Amino acid sequence: MTALPNPDPSDSLNHLQEKLHTLQNRLADLRELERIAQLPPEQWAEIQAEASQLEQHIQAYLLEVFNPIPATFWQVVRFGGLGLLIGIALQRWVLS
């Protein structure tokens, strides 16, 4: 039978320090969650409104930045097409 190697005390100490650090982080997260859970409803509504506004700003920015065709092009297409259809309808109405 071979004897098991003795663990290096510095390795176990490092491992314990890592576990302690992880547990401290989890405890801090739990305390923050507890603090957030105790917020009054008015503050929750304010936070939700701010988050909604932020989401709208981000969406508008992304649409502006990543839209390959500018909005003015679509306005020209829409109103030009509408004008063309109205012109054709008027021409047929006048000629009939």
Give me the pLDDT at residue 7, please. Answer: 55
pTM for the whole thing? Answer: 0.40
Give me the pLDDT at residue 49, please. Answer: 92
Evaluate the CA torsion angle 28, 32, 37, 39 in order and state its sign: positive
Give me the pLDDT at residue 23, please. Answer: 93
Residues 6+ apart with CB under 8 A from 47: 39
What's the CA gap between 16 and 23, in Å, rounded? Answer: 10
What's the CA gap between 79 and 92, in Å, rounded? Answer: 20
What's the CA gap between 13 and 20, in Å, rounded? Answer: 10
Question: pLDDT tens for residues 48-92?
Answer: 899 999 999 988 887 777 776 777 777 888 888 888 888 898 888
More confident residue, 70 or 21: 21
